[in-house]
């Protein structure tokens, strides 16, 4: 599993191509040739870039869902809505399809941020709003990670 690190500002050109930050290109080198899947985020107005191997792992999980339950079919349809296979070209650029640009409200100024094993692609203003909202991060961290039953091995 990949563990990507970093948050970088970059620009999209008039055709919707973004120059992949060199730090991410280096981290993604082992999986660059396999391609990527770009999709809408479930919770935020941003895009998620899955290396193909990570996407395949996600699809294996989703394939275990019982398709005879309507909510599972509805979830799969919405989760995969607008999904596109994309590649980083020889110049290190990633073409973002127009429908996904519209979904995320992406303008020229972007932020590409790591989210453990995937990358998030944000319009810069929306990213700043998201990370600077009124959410009490200390409370969230305690709720999500503060389970006193976790051993040190489970946290690492």
> Where do the structural domains in the chain lie, given as residue ranges?
7-155
Confidence of residue 45 (pLDDT cuts 50, 70, 90): very high
Q: With CA atoms as reference, report the closest residue to 127 among 116, 115, 139.
A: 115
Q: Which residues pair with residue 114 across a beta bridge?
A: 119
Over residues 26-37, mean pLDDT: 92
Assess whether pLDDT exceeds 90 at residue 60. Answer: yes
Q: Which residues pair with residue 94 across a beta bridge?
A: 18, 88
Assess whether pLDDT exceeds 70 at residue 73. Answer: yes
Q: With CA atoms as reference, report the closest residue to 133 among 43, 62, 71, 4.
A: 43
Sheet holding 84-86, edge to edge: 7-11, 109-115, 118-123, 47-51, 36-40, 84-86
According to the model, what pLDDT value does residue 133 have?
Answer: 82
Q: Is 9 helix (H, G, I), strand (E, B) or coil?
A: strand
Structure confidence by residue, pLDDT tens digits, 139-152:
888 888 887 665 55
Q: In terms of CATH, what superfamily is 7-155?
A: Transcriptional regulator MraZ domain (3.40.1550.20)
Structure confidence by residue, pLDDT tens digits, 74-119:
999 999 999 999 999 989 999 999 999 999 999 999 999 999 999 9
Confidence of residue 137 (pLDDT cuts 50, 70, 90): confident
């Amino acid at each position: 599993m990949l563990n990507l690190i970093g948050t970088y500002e970059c620009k999209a050109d008039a055709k919707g191509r973004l120059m992949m930050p060199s730090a991410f290109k280096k981290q993604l080198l082992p999986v660059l040739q396999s391609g990527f899947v770009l999709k809408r985020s479930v919770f935020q107005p941003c895009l998620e870039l899955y290396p193909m191997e990570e996407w395949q792992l996600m699809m294996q999980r989703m394939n275990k869902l019982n398709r005879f339950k309507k909510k599972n079919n509805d979830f799969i349809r919405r989760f995969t809505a607008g999904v596109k296979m994309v590649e980083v070209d020889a110049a290190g650029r990633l073409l973002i399809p127009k429908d996904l640009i519209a979904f995320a409200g992406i303008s020229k100024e972007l932020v590409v941020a790591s989210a453990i094993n995937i990358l998030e692609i944000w319009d810069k203003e929306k990213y700043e709003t998201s990370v600077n909202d009124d959410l009490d991060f200390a409370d969230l961290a305690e709720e999500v990670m503060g389970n006193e039953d976790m051993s040190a091995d489970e946290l690492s």
